[in-house]
């Protein structure tokens, strides 16, 4: 049998920061290392809103092809006719305006988490993408890990019975001995102008585990947006630094308990001695997921009647030895985009847009209950082309 030529997805990269670098490295790894043979990726262009030189330096760092185009503005990127999809890796404060810029130019999008700052911005993006018949997806990479797929299959098959509770923690210890956090006040993690705070940056992963088990796995007619009860401790900048939220799914008698914090860590111990940051508890047993909630690396199933037998299943992230052992785990979400575009789908079944909206509603409710307020320029759901270019930095 002859092998079919894989479908190639041509990417345009918007922004040149930390996560754009990891993502592009993953795009450039050989799909065969993860046993993927039907799709592959090409980085057609990289754009920086700061300067064209920053895009040049970025390409050098990731060892991009000499054919990769470089732009000194996001406007030039979205106008490039060779690009199939734009990956948005700006701070979440800017996702709404940047995504609108790309949609207005007729480009499909993969947009980093948190999708937006408010749920009305998320609704506006979805509405615009649907009107223009363009693919749109929130880049919650964890959902596309083979480990996450396996855990969802185990839950759906009823191995641990009816699931009544999911507990998920995604916390990073970033406190200095003198008590401040290890970020300048201007850093996007704690700066309100850049939609800083634990919830939108890290809590989204705790919420991902609650949602992919307690919401995503329900049939469409049984899906129930949860009731949210939350509490927040704020940092001196006004951003949330410790946030806990309970999601109540009353019809299903289930609850999700989500946590995130910047002064303590969770799941950061790869020997798992710190215990699992994620526990999925059912009537017949429990599934525990180990490793950080955003990048899980193993799971185990503990049965109520298992006689103490517990097997830990390790799920390593494949590395490309021809590229300095690159392999972060972001390539699986990129493969999902390639398959959706190849098949003419406008959204992913694994992370439907309706779910990204519910996720934003939960986070908005949590932040509102904790009294976190973001400034008007980043909460507006009115598209402003000038803001979308990010030239005047706030
Ligand atoms: N999936 C994940 O695991 C993961 C991990 C970390 C972060 N993220 C998400 O990715 C996004 C970016 O995070 P990051 O850690 O990459 O941030 P970062 O290192 O600060 O990079 C952000 C980039 O956005 C561009 N930008 C445009 N307007 C900006 C402004 N007003 N202020 C600052 N930068 C601006 C800059 O690139 P140019 O100057 O080139 O335009 C900058 O390099 C966030 O939404 C974050 O939540 C995801």
Q: Which tens digits make up the pLDDT trace of 20-73?
A: 999 999 999 999 999 999 999 999 999 999 999 999 999 999 999 999 999 999
Rounded distance from Cα 207 to ligand 1 centre (Å): 21
Q: Can you give the residue range of the structural domain that contains 240? A: 146-314
Distance from C-alpha of 299 to C-alpha of 150, rounded to nearest angstrom? 10
DSSP state of 239: S
Q: Which of 189-198, 213-222, 272-281 has the lowest mean pLDDT?
A: 272-281
The CATH number of whichever domain residue 172 belongs to comes to 3.30.360.10
Please identify, among 314, 349, 372, the residue that sits at the C-terminal boundary of a domain. Answer: 314
Please identify, among 142, 163, 182, the residue that sits at the C-terminal boundary of a domain. Answer: 142
- Closest C-alpha among 390, 378, 329, 348 to residue 109: 348
Rounded distance from Cα 388 to ligand 1 centre (Å): 14
Q: Are residues 98 and 128 in the same domain?
A: yes
Q: Are residues 138 and 157 in the same domain?
A: no
Q: What is the pLDDT of residue 118?
A: 98
Q: What is the pLDDT of residues 223-266, one digit of tens each?
A: 999 999 999 999 999 999 999 999 999 999 999 999 999 999 88
Q: Are residues 135 and 236 in the same domain?
A: no
Ligand 1, residues 90, 121, 377: which to mutate, most atoms within 8 A of Cβ? Answer: 90
Q: Are residues 228 and 299 in the same domain?
A: yes
Q: Which of 109-118, 263-272, 351-360 has the lowest mean pLDDT?
A: 263-272
Please identify, among 142, 169, 190, the residue that sits at the C-terminal boundary of a domain. Answer: 142
Q: What is the pLDDT of residue 389?
A: 84
Q: How confident is the model at residue 2 (pLDDT cuts 50, 70, 90)?
A: very low
Rounded distance from Cα 24 to ligand 1 centre (Å): 13
Residue 257 three-state SS? strand
Q: What is the pLDDT of residues 327-353, one digit of tens each?
A: 999 999 999 999 999 999 999 999 999
Atom 18 of ligand 1: nearest residue by CA position: 17
381 located within any domain? no
Q: Are residues 176 and 297 in the same domain?
A: yes
Considering the chain, what percentage of its residues have pLDDT values greater than 90? 90
Q: What is the mean pLDDT of residues 147-160?
A: 98
63 located within any domain? yes
Q: Are residues 188 and 305 in the same domain?
A: yes
Distance from C-alpha of 84 to C-alpha of 102, rounded to nearest angstrom? 11
The CA distances from residue 222 to 214, 246, 393, in Å, are 11, 20, 44
> Burial code of 312-341, b = ≥16 C-beta within 10 A, e = fewer?
eeebebbebeebeebbbbbbbbbbbbbbbb
Q: Are residues 111 and 201 in the same domain?
A: no
Query: Which residues have any ligand 1 atom within 6 Å of their CB?
Result: 15-20, 48-50, 54, 89-92, 94, 112-113, 139, 141, 188, 194, 201, 294, 390, 393-394
Q: What is the mean pLDDT of residues 206-223?
A: 95
Q: Are residues 77 and 120 in the same domain?
A: yes
Number of the ligand 1 atom closest to the C-alpha atom of 201: 47
Whose structure tokens read 């998320």?
122
Rounded distance from Cα 90 to ligand 1 centre (Å): 4
Q: Are residues 112 and 158 in the same domain?
A: no
Rounded distance from Cα 38 to ligand 1 centre (Å): 30
The CATH number of whichever domain residue 109 belongs to comes to 3.40.50.720
Ligand 1, residues 12, 18, 185, 391: which to mutate, most atoms within 8 A of Cβ? Answer: 18
Judged against a pLDDT cut of 80, whether residue 390 lies above it is answered with no
Instruction: List alpha helices for the chain, DSSP H.
Output: 18-28, 52-61, 74-78, 95-104, 119-131, 146-156, 198, 204-214, 331-342, 353-369, 376-379, 385-388
Rounded distance from Cα 110 to ligand 1 centre (Å): 14
Q: What is the pLDDT of residue 1?
A: 46
89 located within any domain? yes
Number of the ligand 1 atom closest to the C-alpha atom of 95: 45
């Amino acid at each position: 049998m002859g092998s079919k030529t894989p479908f190639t997805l041509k990417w345009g990269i918007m922004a040149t920061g930390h996560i754009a670098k990891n993502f592009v490295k993953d795009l450039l790894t050989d799909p065969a290392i993860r046993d993927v043979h039907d799709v592959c990726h090409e980085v057609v262009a990289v754009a920086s809103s700061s300067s064209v030189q920053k895009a040049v330096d970025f390409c050098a760092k990731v060892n991009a092809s000499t054919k990769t185009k470089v732009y000194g503005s996001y406007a030039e990127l979205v106008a490039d006719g060779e690009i199939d999809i734009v990956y948005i890796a700006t701070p979440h404060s800017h996702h709404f305006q940047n995504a609108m810029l790309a949609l207005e130019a007729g480009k499909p999008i993969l947009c980093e988490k948190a999708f937006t700052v408010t749920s009305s911005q998320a609704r506006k993006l979805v509405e615009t993408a649907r009107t223009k018949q363009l693919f749109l997806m929130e880049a919650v990479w964890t959902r596309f890990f083979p480990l996450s797929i396996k855990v969802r299959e185990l839950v759906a098959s009823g191995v641990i019975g009816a699931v009544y509770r999911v507990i998920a923690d995604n916390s990073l210890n970033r406190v200095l001995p003198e008590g401040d956090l290890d970020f300048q006040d201007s850093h996007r993690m704690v700066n309100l102008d850049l939609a800083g705070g634990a919830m939108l940056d890290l809590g989204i992963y705790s919420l991902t585990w609650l949602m992919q088990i307690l919401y995503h796995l329900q049939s469409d007619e049984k899906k129930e947006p949860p009731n949210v009860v939350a509490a927040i401790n704020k940092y001196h900048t006004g951003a949330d630094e410790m946030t806990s939220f309970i999601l109540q799914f009353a019809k299903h008698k289930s609850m999700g308990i989500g946590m995130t914090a910047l002064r303590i860590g969770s799941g950061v111990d790869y020997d798992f001695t710190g215990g699992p940051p994620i526990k999925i508890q059912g009537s017949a047993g429990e599934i525990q997921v180990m490793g950080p909630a955003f990048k899980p690396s193993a799971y185990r199933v503990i049965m109520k009647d298992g006689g103490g037998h517990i097997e830990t299943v390790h799920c390593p992230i494949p590395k490309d030895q021809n590229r300095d052992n690159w392999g972060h785990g972001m390539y699986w979400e990129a493969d999902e985009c390639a398959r959706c575009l190849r098949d003419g789908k406008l959204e992913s079944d694994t992370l439907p847009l309706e779910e990204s909206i519910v996720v934003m509603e939960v986070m908005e409710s949590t932040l509102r209950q904790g009294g976190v307020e973001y400034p008007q320029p980043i909460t507006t759901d009115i598209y402003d082309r000038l803001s979308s270019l990010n030239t005047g930095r706030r």
